[in-house]
Chain A
């Protein structure tokens, strides 16, 4: 019992430690004083000032664009990888494949960044592509490491999935890709959304990879912030940082909220389907596949 309360105290202290600096940062972004350490009353002038900073605004647009493309491609690639890891249990090079999927999670960014840049340079020399480094090369770098995060999230979901539903569909004659698109994908949709948003946030945040593989004229938001931060604490940066915090928090919250809601709905649908199948044994007719609410009926 004693350890129980000790761990709770640690939990509260730990959360305070994690959130205090961010709360302070947000509060100080509304500081009217130009001196960042002196409180001069509330003001939103730093936020208004951001809108006039075209260089910064351009980099925001660029970062959002890259993050958007990254989210889509990382979800596709990560889901494929997760599917291979969970459903295709034996093939040549599986250990290597598993290593390739999980290693980007821990690989120091300076190594990944440097190696990708050298790859792009070597490729440009050999096959003349990519001609110049910019949005495309940053997108490739981000997709590679975000796909690993997606693979971890999605494979956790795939593992706990009831395979009998997929098998039932195959027994009824559906082709594998059809089973995947119509049954597997809808069932893992919340984790796909979570993976996508996670990739979006990770891509929006990345400084090191982008610094290595970007070219002239393709500065992203974190690079812009970094070069300003290096020179010290500034009120404008407080405002930018608070905005980023706000966007990411809203994002995280939405992911959490929707995946919880979807999970509840799913459990309810399964329950309902179970009740109905016991009543009417013939529910799993040919039309049931087209109606998403009946998808669990064959179970």
Chain B
């Protein structure tokens, strides 16, 4: 009823209201992917811009040359395959760690009283606005061989010589979990806070244990929040560049870093594009999952 009334009045500006954001996002978000796809079929060239045109129109003949060499190279080169696998493994383990640490945190906030809750939320939210660069940099000083952590461990006598933590995969895990934890906690909280506690009471009254309550009631109800949180961590981590670059070492192979090197160091735009296309192909299912859970949230049902 109310939406009909609104809609009847809408059509005048309606197209503009939909059109402006739609056009912007289409032009600057969606269209670029097709260009990446196109250039992934080109060849690197010493020119400006540094790639060959994939089609030419000479003497009434339209020639389209699709160079599959980049993709063949990706599938044959050990380096790229292990970089993809490394990224996926890193993202998966970090997501599980964030979930294990973040779920109890979100639960604690959701059950806190109103005033404490706003303060706690502020504390969780603050870091998400702060440069990932700076938070990762803070860990460089802590984890390095003569850093604070090693100094502390040496001081209390747990170890007799400094541990090599910085520039290892362990440091990358610490950095990733550290940086992405708030992105797990926030959607989980938004979901957990809406739960009807009487369900848990009913469960307890009927003789269910706390653990059983949690597993059979809280977790299924929190499904959308868990999906959103996991995707908010998993997808960006697969393409993460800053953390492996600053905290990782030679053993840290991640695709975001490889793409960056291909682009900035080797100036091979077509290979970088092919890397991006394959990365996107891997991530398309998680992204759709995320969009679905977001759409459900956006439509306003709990």
Residues of A within 8 A of B (CB): 1-4, 6-8, 10-11, 14-15, 17-19, 21-22, 24-25, 28, 36-37, 77-78, 80-81, 83-89, 91, 93, 95, 97-112, 114-116, 118-119, 121-122, 125, 140-141, 143-144, 147, 152, 155, 159, 163-164, 166-167, 170, 175-177, 198, 201-202, 204-205, 207-208, 211-212, 222, 225-226, 229-230, 232-233, 237-238, 241, 244-245, 248-249, 251-253, 256, 260
Contacts and interface: CB of A to CB of B under 8 A. Distances in A.
A107 B280 CA distance: 9
Interface of B: 2-3, 5-7, 9-10, 12-14, 17-18, 20-22, 24-33, 35-36, 39, 49, 101-102, 104-105, 107-109, 111, 118, 120, 122-127, 129-135, 137-142, 144, 146-148, 151, 178, 181-182, 185, 210, 214, 231-232, 235-236, 238-242, 245-246, 256, 259-260, 263-264, 269, 272-273, 276, 279-280, 283, 286-287, 290-291, 294-295, 298, 300
Contacts of B256: 108, 110
A147 B126 contact: no
B102 A14 contact: yes
29 contacts: A3-B107, A7-B105, A19-B123, A22-B127, A28-B141, A84-B21, A84-B22, A87-B6, A102-B290, A106-B232, A106-B236, A108-B236, A108-B239, A108-B256, A109-B236, A114-B36, A115-B32, A119-B28, A121-B49, A163-B6, A164-B2, A170-B6, A201-B130, A222-B131, A226-B242, A230-B245, A241-B137, A245-B134, A252-B126
Contacts of A204: 131
5 nearest A-B pairs in the assembled complex, by CB-CB distance: A108-B239, A115-B32, A10-B104, A11-B108, A205-B131
A229 B138 contact: no
Given A37-B141, A97-B22, A159-B300, A176 B147 contact: no
Contacts of A28: 141
Which of A1, A8, A21, A233 is most buried by chain B, counting CB atoms within 10 A of its CB? Answer: A21
Dominant SS among interface residues on chain B: helix
A89 B294 contact: no
